């Protein structure tokens, strides 16, 4: 590295605590410093080029160099750099974006509340649900149902909804009443001899049995990602989501679709709930809402949910919740322009068109000696490393996926290791040529992974 890079790395090690990072290991290893981006590519402080196969963190739909978003931010900064939405105040960008989201999302979702992140949004939803049920005279109806390996954020409440041990250990989570049920992952969780339809029926029975055991009068809501993302990319079995929706209706529970990763075309449809044919009462949106050029998230509500909240604010005199940055005018201006780009360039349609070359290309990796399963839909996928026959993952836990991610980086492809899975989620602007290059770099990395695994005695 050059002198500036060395200086930055030293300052980073000395002063910054990184999320999802072993801090002591970071002191030894130091950071990869990304200095610029262009389309689907980013460049580090040594000048090395990478395809950003994770779209940053599942989020940069339009790529890393969209001038229109920079201009939208600059223009809004000059006009009104900040204002809030408390106490009857508003701004044109927040109004226009709320209107646009009501237009884009399923028609029954009409009301919008802005936050700065998906974690804040899901934390807010917990409070909204409690606020509602208190208003309805149902103070005992406060529990949530979620799934193991689901990801809903990292605040105290949203981190409790998340079903990952690494987000709970030594944080004293879960800290709210939530029950985590079976991950809807047929390959891993299906019983011997069980069909996919049988598996779906068993999971739905598990949900209903849990509701009855806890008491329907105590269960407020079911929350889930249509396709689980950060927990390992798990595609639901056929019939699962309509069945969940029917149970929520039967037992007067709210259905919350966490579309933070799925939304705005990632699955080849505008929203994951549309791909899997169910209607949520509440929808969480973030990441691709602004392509993460600015921190921004939104909660979409039905009129029925809104009306209970609104009536209670009239009774109490206020909705005692909000953030300094809720409806931030610069973030909303960028989000609005980002959604215009997604529509004008038909990036949701592009995700649908690229699904076949992307998913079919990845499934050829099933012949690789270390690959147990390849799963995904649209432009999101996971490659799980496990013995093909026994489905047992390799020891030490997570080591093969971590090595695969490191080798991908060396080959100029940024992927993410999630427990035993290597995840990919490229920007929605990818072309067929880009997909071919992603597969080529991934293939070289996995060839090297085989050599490493032989040296480690994992395979013959």
Query: Which CATH number do you get for residue 384?
Result: 3.90.1150.10
Other CB atoms within a 10 A radius of the CB of residue 418 amount to 21
Please tell me whether residue 101 adopts helix, strand or coil conformation. helix
Residue for token pair 């980073």: 12
DSSP E strands: which ranges in 218-293? 219-224, 254-258, 282-285
Looking at the structure, tell me whether residues 241 and 260 fall in a common domain: yes
Q: How would you write the pLDDT of the chain (460 residues) with one tens digit per residue?
A: 578 789 999 999 999 999 999 999 999 999 999 999 999 999 999 999 999 999 999 999 999 999 999 999 999 999 999 999 999 999 999 999 999 999 999 999 999 999 999 999 999 999 999 999 999 999 999 999 999 999 999 999 999 999 999 999 999 999 999 999 999 999 999 999 999 999 999 999 999 999 999 999 999 999 999 999 999 999 999 999 999 999 999 999 999 999 999 999 999 999 999 999 999 999 999 999 999 999 999 999 999 999 999 999 999 999 999 999 999 999 999 999 999 999 999 999 999 999 999 999 999 999 999 999 999 999 999 999 999 999 999 999 999 999 999 999 999 999 999 999 999 999 999 999 999 999 999 999 999 999 999 999 999 8
How confident is the model at residue 262, as a pLDDT?
98
What span, in angstroms and rounded, lies between the C-alpha atoms of 334 and 290?
A: 6
Please check whether residue 367 lies inside any domain of the structure.
Answer: yes
Residue closest to 207 by CA, chosen among 239, 231, 172:
239
Looking at the structure, tell me whether residues 262 and 338 fall in a common domain: yes
Specify the pTM. 0.97
Looking at the structure, tell me whether residues 396 and 275 fall in a common domain: no
Please check whether residue 19 lies inside any domain of the structure.
Answer: no
Looking at the structure, tell me whether residues 251 and 356 fall in a common domain: no
What's the Rg (C-alpha) of the chain? 22
Please check whether residue 308 lies inside any domain of the structure.
Answer: yes
Looking at the structure, tell me whether residues 325 and 358 fall in a common domain: no
What span, in angstroms and rounded, lies between the C-alpha atoms of 233 and 174?
A: 22
Looking at the structure, tell me whether residues 164 and 193 fall in a common domain: yes
Looking at the structure, tell me whether residues 111 and 241 fall in a common domain: yes
| Structural domains counted in the chain | 2
Are 162 and 148 spatial neighbours (Cβ–Cβ below 8 Å)? no
Please check whether residue 9 lies inside any domain of the structure.
Answer: no
Please tell me whether residue 13 adopts helix, strand or coil conformation. helix
How confident is the model at residue 362, as a pLDDT?
98
Please check whether residue 4 lies inside any domain of the structure.
Answer: no
Please check whether residue 289 lies inside any domain of the structure.
Answer: yes
Please, what sign has the CA dihedral across residues 48, 53, 59, 63? Answer: positive
Looking at the structure, tell me whether residues 98 and 119 fall in a common domain: yes
Of the residues 344, 370, 403, the one at which a domain ends: 344
Looking at the structure, tell me whether residues 37 and 76 fall in a common domain: no
Of the residues 344, 373, 391, the one at which a domain ends: 344
Tell me which DSSP letter residue 234 carries.
Answer: B
Are 224 and 178 spatial neighbours (Cβ–Cβ below 8 Å)? no
What span, in angstroms and rounded, lies between the C-alpha atoms of 450 and 438?
A: 18
Looking at the structure, tell me whether residues 77 and 42 fall in a common domain: no
Query: Which CATH number do you get for residue 152?
Result: 3.40.640.10
How confident is the model at residue 1, as a pLDDT?
56
Looking at the structure, tell me whether residues 333 and 363 fall in a common domain: no
Please, what sign has the CA dihedral across residues 190, 193, 195, 200? Answer: negative
**How does strand 49-52 pair with strand 413-414?**
parallel
Residue closest to 271 by CA, chosen among 256, 260, 282, 287:
260
Please check whether residue 379 lies inside any domain of the structure.
Answer: yes
Looking at the structure, tell me whether residues 314 and 171 fall in a common domain: yes
Exposed/middle/buried for 156, CB within 10 Å: 0-12, 13-18, 19+?
Answer: middle
Of the residues 344, 375, 405, the one at which a domain ends: 344
Residue closest to 66 by CA, chosen among 424, 275, 335:
335
What span, in angstroms and rounded, lies between the C-alpha atoms of 413 and 269?
A: 26
**Cis amide linkage into residue 396, ω under 30° from 0:** yes
**How does strand 49-52 pair with strand 416-418?**
unpaired
Residue closest to 294 by CA, chosen among 228, 234, 235, 339:
339
**Angle of helix 92-104 relative to helix 329-344, nearest 10 degrees?**
40
Task: Provide the residue range defining the domain that includes 359.
Answer: 32-62+346-455
Tell me which DSSP letter residue 366 carries.
Answer: G
Please check whether residue 402 lies inside any domain of the structure.
Answer: yes
What span, in angstroms and rounded, lies between the C-alpha atoms of 448 and 455?
A: 11
């Amino acid at each position: 590295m050059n002198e500036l890079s060395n200086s930055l790395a030293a300052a980073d090690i000395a002063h910054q605590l990184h999320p999802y990072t072993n801090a002591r290991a970071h002191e030894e290893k130091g950071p990869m410093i990304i200095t610029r981006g262009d389309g689907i590519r980013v460049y580090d402080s040594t000048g090395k080029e990478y395809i950003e196969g994770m779209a940053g963190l599942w989020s940069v739909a339009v790529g890393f160099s969209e001038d229109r978003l920079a201009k939208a931010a600059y223009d809004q900064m000059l006009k009104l750099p900040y204002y809030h939405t408390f106490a009857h105040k508003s701004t044109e960008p927040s109004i226009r974006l709320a209107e646009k989201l009501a237009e884009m999302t399923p028609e029954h979702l009409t009301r919008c509340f802005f936050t700065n992140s998906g974690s804040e949004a899901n934390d807010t939803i917990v409070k909204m649900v409690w606020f509602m049920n208190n208003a309805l005279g149902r103070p005992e109806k406060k529990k949530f149902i979620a799934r193991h390996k689901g990801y809903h954020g990292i605040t105290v409440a949203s981190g409790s909804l998340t079903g990952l041990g690494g987000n709970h250990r030594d944080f004293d989570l879960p800290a709210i009443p939530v029950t985590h049920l079976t991950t809807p992952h047929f390959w891993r969780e299906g019983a011997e001899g069980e069909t996919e339809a049988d598996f779906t029926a068993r999971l739905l029975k598990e949900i209903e049995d849990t509701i009855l055991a806890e008491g329907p009068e105590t269960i407020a809501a079911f929350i889930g990602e249509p396709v689980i993302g950060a927990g390992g990319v798990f595609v639901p079995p056929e019939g699962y989501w309509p069945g969940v929706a029917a149970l929520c209706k039967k037992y007067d529970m709210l259905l919350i679709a966490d579309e933070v990763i799925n939304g705005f075309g990632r699955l080849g449809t505008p929203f994951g709930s549309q791909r899997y044919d169910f209607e949520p009462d509440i929808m969480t949106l973030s990441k691709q809402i602004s392509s993460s050029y600015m921190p921004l998230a939104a909660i979409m509500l039905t009129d029925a949910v809104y009306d209970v909240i609104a009536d209670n604010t009239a009774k109490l005199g206020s909705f005692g919740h909000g953030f300094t940055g809720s409806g931030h005018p610069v973030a909303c201006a960028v989000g609005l322009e980002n959604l215009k780009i997604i529509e004008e360039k038909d990036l949701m349609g592009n995700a649908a068109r690229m699904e076949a070359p992307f998913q079919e290309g990845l499934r050829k990796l099933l012949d690789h000696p270390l690959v147990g399963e390849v799963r995904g839909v649209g432009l999101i996928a996971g490659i799980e490393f496990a013995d093909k026959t026994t489905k047992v993952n390799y020891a030490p836990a997570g080591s093969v996926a971590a090595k695969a991610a490191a080798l991908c980086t060396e080959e100029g492809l940024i992927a993410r290791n999630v427990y035993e899975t290597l995840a990919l989620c490229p920007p929605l602007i990818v072309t067929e040529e880009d997909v071919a290059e992603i597969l080529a770099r991934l293939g070289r990395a996995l060839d090297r992974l085989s050599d490493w695994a032989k040296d480690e005695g994992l395979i013959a």
